[in-house]
Amino acid sequence: MTTTDTQRATIVATPPSSPPRLHLAPVRAGHAVLDGGWWPRSWDPVAELPGLILDLDASFGPIRQVLLNIDAWDRRFRRLAVGSRVVRMGWFTSLDPALLIATTERGDQIDLLVVPPGTARATARAAMARAADPADTTRAPAILATMPTAWDAPPDDDAPASVWDNEGGHLADAQAPRPTGALSTARSR
């Protein structure tokens, strides 16, 4: 694979327009597999990661590096400037798309379930709550595999303006076909 200048560049993130949909475990338990769940609004890492990194900074200390699956996300780059710091990015085919790994400056590892953006609200919330349960030892892909329905239309109470805001200022692609059945951890291309 050829590395492009864009992939080598440090991407400067703009401040997040909305808080991340994140559910963290109340305490870090030594036997827990996950530290919580995250439900991004899109597969755009530049739009989604700054808010997440800032929240993780506040909970665990400064984040040094974030590791993601290379195929699940729209863009790849090596560094992301968030606030006054630069966070290193790692992109791996071997990392499950359902998992995000962040490491702090102290070397602590934070493992988060990544709930696919198009997941129905109730399903996503249940998955994040399960991932944040310190007594649960289920791995990220297994949590998604046991969730009932992968993709639902937004509830009728979502006004177009709130959908606009929740999608980062652009309309959701309501015409795109949505997978059905058990949650898929990989984004279809």
Q: Is residue 139 in a domain?
A: yes
Q: Is residue 94 in a domain?
A: yes
Domain region containing 148: 5-166
Signed CA dihedral, 139, 50, 169, 71: sign only: negative
Q: Is residue 60 in a domain?
A: yes
| pLDDT confidence tier of residue 76, bands split at 50, 70 and 90 | very high
Task: Give percent above pLDDT 70 in the chain.
Answer: 73
Question: HSE on the CB side for 130, CA within 13 Å?
Answer: 20
> Number of structural domains, the chain?
1
Burial of 64 (0-12, 13-18, 19+ CB in 10 A): middle
State both tokens at 146.
Answer: 């046991």
Q: Is residue 180 in a domain?
A: no
pLDDT of residue 149: 61
Q: Is the predicted pLDDT of residue 165 greater than 60, yes or no?
A: no
